[in-house]
Amino acid sequence: MLPLLLLFAAAAPYDLVITNGRIVDGTGSPWYAADLAIRDGKIAAIGRLAGAPARRTVDARGMVVAPGFIDMLGQSEITILVNPHLPSKIFQGITTEVTGEGGSAAPLSDAIVKADRVAWEHYGVTPTWRNFREYFARLRKQGLGINVADYVGATQVRRMVIGQGMALALAGIVIGLAGAFGLARFITTFLFGVTAKDPAVFTAVPLILAVVSLVAVWLPARRASNVDPLTALRYE
């Protein structure tokens, strides 16, 4: 029985054979000349396959055959809903994208959707999801041309938590930045007798700035949303 199965596997035509390519396999090894066969969406053989039966043959002479590239900082989380094939990625050899830096596709609130209405209308996309579970369900339903992984963007978390209080929080940060250095100089000079040129002044600045910034962000967030900002990290 086993010899028959092996004979069938050897005789069955490949879906695709790429011949005469320079193979870069991603292991760090130098490129090498070989043919590559694909069956059922997987690499089935690498070697000299010029005479192997195949439904389709592509001559890659003078070209590189390599695994798909990974775009570690893409921004296609919305445009993939416009054109799931993402030709701008595929034509560059990109088969996986990591997105969601800063802003991300989720989480969403009604307030964020309303604030970004112009962008949604521009793309012709209706945001029917509110969390990543619903977003990925929509991607799976429509189909994908590449693999996609998403971060939860820091900006997105901030918008979810602070909402309309963001302007107040930013104003607090600006005030904190302006006053931190002067406050550090006051404390070190008048309370500890350290001159303005002493390194201790500059050592104190980051510490005081961190405290001021924390208060400047935390209090407006609580006032604007009445939600602990850390709860955004647990948002589904």
- Interval 201-227 mean pLDDT: 59
Cβ-contact 162, 224 below 8 angstroms: yes
- Interval 80-102 mean pLDDT: 92
Q: Is pLDDT above 50 for 5?
A: no
3-state helix, strand, coil in the chain (%, to 5): 50, 20, 35
Q: Between the CA atoms of 223, 228, 229 and 234, what dihedral angle is there, to the nearest 10 degrees?
A: -150
Distance CA 67, CA 64 (A): 10
Q: Is pLDDT above 90 for 125?
A: yes
Distance CA 97, CA 150 (A): 8
Per-residue pLDDT reduced to its tens digit, 50-74: 889 999 999 999 999 999 999 998 8
- Quickly tell me which residue has 């012709």 as its tokens: 124
Could you tell me the pTM of the whole model?
0.62
Q: At the topology level of CATH, where does 12-67 sit?
A: Urease, subunit C; domain 1 (2.30.40)
Q: Where are the domains of the chain?
A: 12-67, 70-152, 162-225
Per-residue pLDDT reduced to its tens digit, 15-34: 999 999 999 988 889 999 99
Which residues, listed in sequence order, are joined to residue 35 by a DSSP beta bridge? 47
pLDDT confidence band for 160 (50 / 70 / 90): confident
Question: Is 163 or 223 the better-scoring residue by pLDDT?
Answer: 163
Range with the poorest average pLDDT among 29-38, 82-91, 170-179, 195-204 = 195-204
Close Cβ partners of 111 (under 8 Å, ≥ 6 residues apart): 163, 164
Close Cβ partners of 63 (under 8 Å, ≥ 6 residues apart): 21, 22
Close Cβ partners of 28 (under 8 Å, ≥ 6 residues apart): none
pLDDT at 226: 52
Distance CA 175, CA 25 (A): 54
Q: Between the CA atoms of 54, 56, 62 and 65, what dihedral angle is there, to the nearest 10 degrees?
A: -80
pLDDT confidence band for 1 (50 / 70 / 90): very low
